[in-house]
């Protein structure tokens, strides 16, 4: 066991560890003419880690770790938070040990330095004692954050903070028009002055594929450029929930809380999925308050205006409305033309006038669909050698339309399809009986209604003897869980959706 406040990986652990493949060859390492021995060793470790994990995971959790020093037996690396360190340890501890034993050799150790943000945390002393494996950041950096100074104190913020930002979503490739004018203007103002405008929180809402995620990511990317080393963190309500649940299960709730409170710009996408998750909402409520009070920027998106989100506590909804709520509407015809022209140019091509007009007239609901259409059109041209004509455009549009049937499925047809599939009378499904198979059919029907109609939770409940919205949320969550884990539910759902024409055989 380590004797000091460090995390050690001893070479002797290695027998029980997974085989690493492919093997790392020293001569395949990048050259490091001007880098320290620590950098070189860490680069070698990274080369193996990269080959053994998912690229997205690698980018998020490993790419930005910095090597600080190597003293011949101990490699010191720096990670941005305890949460971060523990995540790596939990998920990739075994991999790390194997890699280190290969690269550093017998008896070598890895030591993590965890950057601790003291600005909002008076329990730091406590935390350090409870987690003796951690060392604090160097005092020069700690003092700036401790003073609770705003973003200008760049030296207080680690460069390797995990952001989850996608660098391709920037303002430069976001087309502005009437449908997103207010949202885009507010987004730019916030990127320039996070936490300092009236738009805190900023809530963008609108249906899917209209550029909400693009815009909020663009804020993060631009803010990072302008305010170097600012802590921007992008997540969505589902990931927040999952991390929160994991933190509870693993007794790491303090780390979770501290991590979120150390963020300067917190972006939470798709907050409608907080619906029905009361404990998570409670935690998010406190996170929101802590960040807002200390002038940190909060940015949220939703598929509907905050006050229409069902199953979310009123006190949260009221906070969501403290700043600016801006809608993003479907693009109008001119804007659709502009988007197609721009995206085609980005792909290095130009569309004939009649093709571009045909697409702009026929794909109306979302930018994502416009993009999808353009990509399949260009694929048919470059991969299948087809000619870029209006006939080809028609074919592509037809294909896309059949993937997304626009007809609104009626409540009656959904209920009948479920009733038929399970061979249970409709009156039982909509009635009060609590027999297990009836409950499952009822929950399935509620889930499909939620997924495939525009009905509110309340009105879904009204088709089942006036059940309230929390029952509907609970049912939908149950079915969602079954769908993830239970093959029979998956098969049943597939068959019912097929019957309804919502899924191809
Ligand atoms: P949402 O989050 O609203 O569902 P996204 O932000 O994911 O939508 O946008 C879907 C796709 O459409 C993305 O690839 C995005 O880059 C693109 N997109 C949406 N709006 C615009 C726009 N105004 N200009 C350029 N691209 C856009
Ligand atoms: Mg989105």
**Number of Cβ within a 10 Å radius of residue 107:** 11
* pLDDT tens readout for residues 241-259: 999 999 999 999 999 999 9
> In the block, which residue shows the tokens 């963020």?
263
Q: Is the CB of 371 under 6 A from ligand 1?
A: yes
What mean pLDDT do residues 270-299 have? 96
Ligand nearest to the CA of 346: 1
Q: Is the CB of 174 under 6 A from ligand 1?
A: yes
- First-to-final CA distance of the chain: 57
Distance in angstroms (rounded) separating the CA atoms of residues 494 and 480: 13
Q: Is the CB of 208 under 6 A from ligand 1?
A: yes
Q: Is the CB of 213 under 6 A from ligand 1?
A: yes
CA of 213 from ligand 2 middle (Å) equals 4
Task: Answer whether residue 448 shows pLDDT above 50.
Answer: yes
Ranges 168-182, 188-202, 247-261, 378-392: which has the least confidence: 378-392
Could you list the beta-strand ranges (E) of 55-101: 66-70, 74-79
Q: Is the CB of 214 under 6 A from ligand 1?
A: yes
What is the secondary structure of 292-323 as a DSSP string?
A: HHTT-EEEEEESS-GGG-TTS-HHHHHHHTSS
Distance in angstroms (rounded) separating the CA atoms of residues 468 and 481: 21
Contact 256, 127 (CB under 8 A): no
Ranges 106-110, 114-118, 434-438: which has the least confidence: 114-118
Ligand nearest to the CA of 217: 1
Say what the pLDDT of residue 38 is: 87
Considering the four listed CATH numbers 2.40.50.140, 1.10.8.60, 3.40.50.2300, 3.30.1490.20, the one that applies to the domain covering 333-400 is 1.10.8.60
Beta-strand relationship, 202-205 and 324-327? parallel
Position with higher pLDDT, 455 vs 324? 324
Task: Answer whether residue 400 shows pLDDT above 90.
Answer: no
CA of 80 from ligand 1 middle (Å) equals 30
**Residue 102 — pLDDT band, cuts 50, 70, 90?**
confident
Give the closest residue to 81 by CA, choosing from 119, 41, 112, 49: 112
Q: Is the CB of 368 under 6 A from ligand 1?
A: yes
Say what the pLDDT of residue 408 is: 56
CA of 234 from ligand 1 middle (Å) equals 16
Give the closest residue to 297 by CA, choosing from 211, 142, 189, 206: 189
Cα 86 to Cα 234, 251, 260, 466: the distances in Å are: 19, 12, 15, 46
Ligand nearest to the CA of 366: 1
Q: What angle do CA 136, 137, 142 make, to 5 degrees?
A: 110
Distance in angstroms (rounded) separating the CA atoms of residues 233 and 25: 35
Task: Answer whether residue 149 shows pLDDT above 70.
Answer: no
CA of 59 from ligand 2 middle (Å) equals 21
Distance in angstroms (rounded) separating the CA atoms of residues 339 and 344: 8
Say what the pLDDT of residue 23 is: 28
CA of 216 from ligand 2 middle (Å) equals 9
Contact 328, 212 (CB under 8 A): yes
Residues of the chain with CATH 1.10.8.60: 333-400
Give me the numbers of helices (H) and strands (E) for the chain, helices first please.
21, 8
* pLDDT tens readout for residues 335-375: 999 999 999 998 888 899 999 999 999 998 899 999 989 98
What's the mean pLDDT when you consider all of the chain?
80
Distance in angstroms (rounded) separating the CA atoms of residues 286 and 279: 11
Position with higher pLDDT, 405 vs 299? 299
Q: Is the CB of 212 under 6 A from ligand 1?
A: yes
Ligand nearest to the CA of 236: 2
User: Domain 4-131 - what CATH class?
Assistant: alpha beta
- Residue 67 pairs in a beta bridge with 77
Residues of the chain with CATH 3.30.300.180: 4-131
Say what the pLDDT of residue 17 is: 34
Q: Is the CB of 148 under 6 A from ligand 1?
A: no
Cα 79 to Cα 58, 76, 202, 295, 445: the distances in Å are: 14, 10, 30, 25, 47
Ligand 1: atom nearest CA of 208 is 4
The protein residue whose alpha carbon is closest to atom 26 in ligand 1 is: 174
**Residue 161 — pLDDT band, cuts 50, 70, 90?**
low
In terms of residues, how long is the chain?
Answer: 505
Position with higher pLDDT, 331 vs 58? 331
Task: Answer whether residue 15 shows pLDDT above 80.
Answer: no
Contact 211, 366 (CB under 8 A): no
Residues of the chain with CATH 1.10.1750.10: 411-500
Q: Does domain 411-500 have CATH number 1.20.1250.20?
A: no
**Residue 192 — pLDDT band, cuts 50, 70, 90?**
very high
In what order do the strands lie in the sheet containing 66-70?
Answer: 66-70, 74-79, 109-114
Distance in angstroms (rounded) separating the CA atoms of residues 403 and 502: 8
> In the block, which residue shows the tokens 């631009």?
222
Ligand 1 pocket mutation, candidates 208, 214, 237, 345, criterion most atoms within 8 A of CB = 214
Q: Is the CB of 210 under 6 A from ligand 1?
A: yes
The protein residue whose alpha carbon is closest to atom 23 in ligand 1 is: 175
Ligand 1: atom nearest CA of 342 is 25
Ligand nearest to the CA of 208: 1
Ranges 40-44, 177-181, 343-347, 407-411: which has the least confidence: 407-411
Contact 469, 458 (CB under 8 A): yes
What is the secondary structure of 214-272 as a DSSP string?
A: HHHHHHHHHHHHHSTT--EEEEEHHHHHHHHHHHHHTT-HHHHHHHHHT-SEEEEE-GG
Say what the pLDDT of residue 11 is: 31
> In the block, which residue shows the tokens 């972006």?
267
Ligand 1 pocket mutation, candidates 177, 203, 211, 363, criterion most atoms within 8 A of CB = 211
**DSSP H helices in 105-236:** 124-130, 139-146, 181-192, 212-226
Task: Answer whether residue 140 shows pLDDT above 90.
Answer: no
Task: Answer whether residue 90 shows pLDDT above 60.
Answer: yes
Task: Answer whether residue 49 shows pLDDT above 90.
Answer: no
Which backbone phi and psi does 403 adopt, to 5 degrees?
-75, -30
**Number of Cβ within a 10 Å radius of residue 394:** 14
Distance in angstroms (rounded) separating the CA atoms of residues 218 and 196: 18
Percentage with pLDDT > 90 across the chain: 50
Ranges 30-34, 215-219, 339-343: which has the least confidence: 30-34
Residues of the chain with CATH 3.40.50.300: 171-327
CATH number for the region 171-327 comes to 3.40.50.300
Ligand 1: atom nearest CA of 184 is 23
Contact 492, 444 (CB under 8 A): yes
Longest dimension (CA), the chain: 77
CA of 367 from ligand 1 middle (Å) equals 6
Distance in angstroms (rounded) separating the CA atoms of residues 493 and 448: 9
Say what the pLDDT of residue 130 is: 23
> What is the rounded (10 degree) CA torsion for 481, 404, 472, 206?
110
Q: Which residues of 336-362 are buried (b: 16+ CB within 10 A; e: fewer)?
A: bbbbbeebbeeeeeebeeebbbbbbeb
Q: Is the CB of 367 under 6 A from ligand 1?
A: yes
Beta-strand relationship, 324-327 and 74-79? unpaired
**Number of Cβ within a 10 Å radius of residue 300:** 25
């Amino acid at each position: 066991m380590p004797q000091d406040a460090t995390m050690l990986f001893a070479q002797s652990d290695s027998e029980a560890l997974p085989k690493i493949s492919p093997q790392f060859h020293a001569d395949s390492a990048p050259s490091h003419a001007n880098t320290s021995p620590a950098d070189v060793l860490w680069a070698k470790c990274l080369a193996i880690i990269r080959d053994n994990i998912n690229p997205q995971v690698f980018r998020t959790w490993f790419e930005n770790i910095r090597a600080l020093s190597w003293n011949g037996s101990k490699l010191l690396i720096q990670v941005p938070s305890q949460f971060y360190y523990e995540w790596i340890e939990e998920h990739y501890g075994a991999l790390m040990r194997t890699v280190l034993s290969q690269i550093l050799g017998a008896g070598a150790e890895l030591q993590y330095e965890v950057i601790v943000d003291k600005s909002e945390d008076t329990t730091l002393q406590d935390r350090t004692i409870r987690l003796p494996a951690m060392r604090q950041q160097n005092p020069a950096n700690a003092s700036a954050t401790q003073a609770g100074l705003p973003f200008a104190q760049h030296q207080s913020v680690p460069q390797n903070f995990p952001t989850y930002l996608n660098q391709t979503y920037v303002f430069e490739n976001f087309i502005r028009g009437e449908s997103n004018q207010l949202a885009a203007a507010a987004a730019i103002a916030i990127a320039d002055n996070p936490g300092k405008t009236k738009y805190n929180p900023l809530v963008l809402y609108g249906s899917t594929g209209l550029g909400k995620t693009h815009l909020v990511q663009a804020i993060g990317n631009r803010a990072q450029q302008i305010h170097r080393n600012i802590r921007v963190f992008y997540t969505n309500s589902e990931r927040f929930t999952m991390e929160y649940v994991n933190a509870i299960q693993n007794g790491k709730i303090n780390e979770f809380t501290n991590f979120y409170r150390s963020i300067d710009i917190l972006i939470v996408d798709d907050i409608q999925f907080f619906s029905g998750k009361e404990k998570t909402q409670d935690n998010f409520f406190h996170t929101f308050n802590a960040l807002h009070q200390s002038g940190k920027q909060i940015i949220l998106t939703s598929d509907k205006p905050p006050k229409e989100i069902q199953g979310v506590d009123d006190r949260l909804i009221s906070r969501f409305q403290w700043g600016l709520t801006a809608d993003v509407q479907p693009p109008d015809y001119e804007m659709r033309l502009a988007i197609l022209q721009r995206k085609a140019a980005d792909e290095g091509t130009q569309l004939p006038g009649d093709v571009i007009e045909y697409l702009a007239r026929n794909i109306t609901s979302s930018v994502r669909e416009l993009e999808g259409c353009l990509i399949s059109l260009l694929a048919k041209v470059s991969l299948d050698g087809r000619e870029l004509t209006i006939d080809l455009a028609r074919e592509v549009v037809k294909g896309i339309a059949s993937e997304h049937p626009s007809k609104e499925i009626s409540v009656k047809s959904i209920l009948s399809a479920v009733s038929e599939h399970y061979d249970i009378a409709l009156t039982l499904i909509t009635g009060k009986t609590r027999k297990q198979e009836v409950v499952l059919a009822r929950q399935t029907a509620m889930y499909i209604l939620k997924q495939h109609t525009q009905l509110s939770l309340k009105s879904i409940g009204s088709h089942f003897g006036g059940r309230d919205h929390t029952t509907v949320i609970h049912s939908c969550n149950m079915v969602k869980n079954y769908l993830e884990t239970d093959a029979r539910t998956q098969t049943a759902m597939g068959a019912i959706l097929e019957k309804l024409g919502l899924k191809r055989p």
